[in-house]
């Protein structure tokens, strides 16, 4: 059976959103997810219990609105197959510029860095490392965003690691012009570079 890793964050329930969308909850059935990496801003007990029901192996880092969760670490690292995955909410970073994310990935000594705080999905490869922002699972608004900014689409990611290869599945809740909601799925792949072996002379 495939070991799937759920990457989710920026939930902000109930202060900025009511709940995780029902169409997402249908996909996140207990027994399908091996581990959950929560990138912070998990601001209510009910949602915490829900995520524990999806996967008892729940790893959480502190977000900027997790003021009562003083014991949560700012960063964590997990290893799956030959890939080390680091994750953080992102409020400790000056910005989410690729060079700053790369410096954080190097500091944590990881191949993949997941960060949150922007509420928008992003995934890219840079300097042989892979960077993933799962966005906000609820589509919660960002404080300080301009009034004409397009609202964020609710999103989360699933990772499937096989050896040194990672397949990322991105789930986004899209609304068409008639107001109908549909879940769009996108796939992104990353393979960790293999160090060349030097033969003895």
**pLDDT value for 63:** 78
Helix, strand, coil in percent for the chain, rounding step 5: 15, 35, 50
Domain ranges across the chain: 4-143+150-191
Write the pLDDT tens digit of every residue in 42-63: 777 888 899 999 999 999 988 7
Which parts of the chain register pLDDT below 50?
201
DSSP 107: H
**pLDDT value for 92:** 62
Q: How far apart are the first and last CA of the chain?
A: 44
Residue 190: φ, ψ to 5°: -140, 135
Residue 87: φ, ψ to 5°: -150, 150
Q: How many residues does the chain have?
A: 201
**pLDDT value for 131:** 96
**pLDDT value for 201:** 47
Report which of 136, 36, 42 is spatially closest to residue 80, judged by C-alpha positions.
36
Q: Quote the tokens at residue 62.
A: 């502190």
> How far is residue 72's CA from residue 82's CA, in Å, rounded to a whole number?
26
Per CATH, the number for 4-143+150-191 is 3.60.21.10
Global pTM value: 0.88
Give 144-153's long-range contacts (Cβ < 8 A, gap of 24+). Answer: 152/119, 152/120, 153/121
Write the pLDDT tens digit of every residue in 149-161: 677 789 999 999 9
């Amino acid at each position: 059976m495939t070991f799937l890793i759920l990457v989710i964050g920026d939930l902000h329930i109930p202060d900025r959103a009511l709940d995780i969308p029902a169409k997402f909850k249908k996909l996140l059935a207990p027994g399908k997810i091996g581990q959950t990496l929560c990138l912070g801003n998990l601001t209510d007990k009910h949602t915490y219990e829900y995520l524990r029901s999806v996967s008892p192996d729940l790893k959480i880092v502190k977000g900027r609105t997790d003021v009562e969760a003083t014991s949560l670490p700012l960063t964590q690292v997990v290893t799956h197959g030959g890939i080390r995955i680091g994750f953080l909410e992102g409020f400790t970073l000056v910005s989410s510029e690729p060079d700053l994310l790369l410096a954080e990935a190097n500091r944590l000594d990881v191949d993949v860095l997941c960060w949150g705080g922007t509420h928008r999905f992003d995934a890219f490869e840079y300097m042989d490392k892979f960077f993933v922002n799962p966005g906000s699972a609820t589509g919660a608004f960002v404080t300080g965003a301009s009034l004409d900014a397009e609202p964020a689409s609710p999103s989360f990611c699933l990772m499937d690691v096989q050896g040194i290869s990672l397949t990322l599945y991105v789930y986004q809740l899209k609304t068409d012009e008639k107001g109908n909601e549909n879940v769009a799925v996108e796939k992104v792949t990353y393979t960790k570079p293999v160090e060349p072996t030097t033969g003895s002379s």
